[in-house]
Structure 1
């Protein structure tokens, strides 16, 4: 066993761990962007559904993507045994774990469109079906040697495969679930349902930013030539540019530098560069990130104007930025770096690669949305609805779905102050007896 094989395996294993840790970033992002009464539910269901997607990926997902088959789907290597693949250049088990992490991230993105109103049982069933009927098809088309790969589709680390796929599933969910109670007024105007912890969301972006080095740079699956450093540099520059652009555009339009928008700009820059990080020069990565930061600002406002309630802005951050990132290689891919497909328009490649990228966006986005919509529509009928009752939504999914709060001390203390319950204070004297009821 040669040294390069071992070093490749170690590098991709580290990258796989970084990508899996991004699940933690998404937990903080989604909980921080939503209300306290749903925090425990969101954190718990994210871990549970990642567990489901892991089992499904082992049983069938990996084989559907990378197994021998046709241009549509693979049909071998089910119940993966951990064997090494000849010519892969690293441990087969490590490569499997790396790809499993990507599948889990795409599912986590999809669930952003379900937040604060879907039944727990809906998460469980959709996690299974998405992991079999949606993600593997698109991943096989682009990464598994399928028909889009045959056309030279460029998507180095998943702006389309992971992010757009998850976002289109989220769109199907937001349409069928309808907005949260109180989000929109009768005249169509929107109310701002603020997340309960802006520090969580900021920390989540930092964790995701760091995890993205595994996501993008790890997709080199090799240490040979240290090309992963160049990919990481492009990744960081795009994230930085997205942060600054979103902050500036919000400041100009709103008169204030909006913190959530700034954070979404960072994520949009990361999503956009994911497809092109290995194909473009550093200056182009800055342009890609800047445009992503501006696009995410207007995209969020657009979806809200259409009465689409997207609590963590998955449609804009992962959908709109995913589309732009995918198309960007059709403009900026250089002849030296375009190891897949052709150079972009600005490097004399004409419209050919841009057309392939657009085809990939339309085909993958439409497939993910239509199949997810059909799955959720059938689930809505067979499971007597996708959404919790109005009463359950009002009291929060922590209690209605799990019987306990994510922040039990804070919630109980607040209720006690209002006189609805009694809890012991430091002197074993009920807090409600220490001050009059406000009810």
Structure 2
């Protein structure tokens, strides 16, 4: 436009000329900022939809690893995790997790998204952010389902889901992520210590795993799981291909879980996608070769759980570790999950039908601590993990966070299941369990004509 304005510039004051030149720049900057906001909303919404689809993955894994007579009951629990969990998180959980507070322990604002106009950019972002966080809350709840499968009363499970998404998950979530919505003024006390959990190895996965552990302990094992002398019997899942499909769906959805946690459409999502996928690959191989060595065969279910273990393990550090670090974290998670499943099943004699405690609780704790080991300074404002010369400065807050969240989630899980037990009971009757919860709880067969009524 210079050649068109030459004659005009001779006739107007210099100051006005300067304003004329600056005005388009300011308008461009405003437009660029608005475009970035819209890009962030779009990316976060896409990621949230991917995480929501993980509910289907969890359902497939749990159904496949359990028996045919309980398939419908497991599907119903996964539906309820989202249906109940999202509403409760909207009414109470989001405010407890992300609202402002005075001491870093619990939020006290944002209940039912009060005060949003639904039209201005800030409100539009809040709505998108709530939706993204709501599917995380549902994930924490659905982890519990697998650990207590095949013997839990459905109405009791609804109450536990209510408590997990409305209280247990949001409170510990506030400790670690309280600043994500309203900035430093809403920060939780673990954040203040320097605790790092980018996408939720501990905040989401370990919380679900530790609540599942509490439930499995209070419920006791399924009928026929242990002999009179305490020897563990295998109760094979009825549909391993379905479980494998569920793992692939979860792997796919994890690219919303981890890269989406940037809530920003920028170049960092590429690195996070790479570390996420490499850790899953390494976890798959780690579990497969470990099972092959221990049992003489490359066990399919252990390999599936190894993939999930790698994904859970990398979730905390996916944005601050290198690809090589991600492979190490995932590989160790894959090895660890095999030994954890064996230990919980055969030594502790706790019946966890899908390995939820090992995959999400144990490997979530490992991934959180590993963040303090493998974080590279280039991705963390110069602060390095132990293996990169940073000493224990990053490790100590990670260990504190893991221990504190275990105590909170496991303890609160015991209380939640105890309340449900006192109010309505939590264990299905012997007859109901042998017949199958599909018929006993819901009056339907998942596979009409193929139902098996007893495992004895």
Asked if residue 277 in structure 1 is aligned to residue 318 in structure 2, the reply is yes
- The answer to whether the Cα contact below 8 Å between 1:84 and 1:91 also exists between their aligned partners in 2 is no
Aligned mates of 2:58, 2:239 — CA distance in 1: 14
Shift of 1:83: 5.2
Q: Is the 8 A contact 2:314 2:329 kept in 1?
A: yes
- 3-state SS of paired residue (2:377): coil
1:77 pairs, out of 110, 134, 140, with 110
1:132 to 151, 166, 175: 166
Change (3 A) 1:83 1:153: farther
Q: Which moved more, 1:110-119 or 1:166-175?
A: 110-119
Measure the CA separation in 1 of the matches of 2:413 and 2:286. Answer: 32
Equivalences for residues 12-51 of structure 1 within 5 A: 12-51=44-83
Distance 1:313 1:33 in 2: 9
> Is the 2:77–2:145 Cα contact (8 Å) retained in structure 1?
no
Partner of 1:346: 387
* 1-structure distance, mates of 2:238, 2:297: 20
Alignment equivalent of 1:105, drawn from 139, 155, 162: 139
The residue correspondences of 1:294-305 to structure 2 (distance < 5 A) are: 294-305=335-346
Is the aligned partner of 1:326 residue 2:360? no
Alignment partner of 2:99 out of 67, 71, 87: 67
TM-score, length of structure 1 as denominator length: 0.91
- Residues 85 and 166 of structure 2 are in contact (CA less than 8 Å); yes or no, is this contact kept in structure 1? no
Q: TM-score, normalised by structure 2?
A: 0.87
2:397 equivalent to 1:380: no
Alignment size in residue pairs: 410
Structure 2 Cα separation of the partners of residues 86 and 302 of structure 1: 53
| Structure 2: distance between partners of 1:343 and 1:85 | 42
Query: Which residue of the partner structure matches residue 421 of structure 1?
Result: none
For 1:12-32, what per-residue CA distance to the aligned partner results, in whole angstroms no more than 9, with x for missing partners? 100000000000000001000
2:74/2:145 contact within 8 Å kept? no
Structure 1 position 246 matched with structure 2 position 282: no
Contact 1:280 1:334 in 2 (8 A): yes
Query: SS state of the match for residue 79, structure 1?
Result: helix
Give the distance between the partners of 1:59 and 1:359, measured in 2 at CA.
30
How far apart are 1:50 and its partner, in Å?
1.4
What is the CA–CA distance in structure 2 between the aligned matches of 1:143 and 1:86, rounded to whole Å?
25
Distance 2:243 2:440 in 1: 25
Name the residue aligned to 1:431: none
What CA distance in whole angstroms lies between the structure 2 residues aligned with 1:388 and 1:200? 26
Select the structure of larger CA radius of gyration.
2
Cα distance, 1:187 vs structure 2: 1.4
Moved more, 194-203 or 110-119: 110-119
Q: Are positions 1:179 and 2:179 aligned together?
A: no
Give 1:90 shift.
7.4
1:232 Cα deviation (Å)?
0.4
Q: Out of 167, 180, 186, which is 2:209 matched to?
A: 167
Distance verdict in 2 for CA 1:65–1:83, change over 3 Å: farther
Residue number in structure 2 paired with 1:336: 378
Tell me if the contact between 1:153 and 1:356 (Cα under 8 Å) persists in the aligned partners. Answer: yes
Does the aligned pair in 2 maintain the 1:246–1:261 contact within 8 Å? yes
Match in the other structure for 1:54: 86
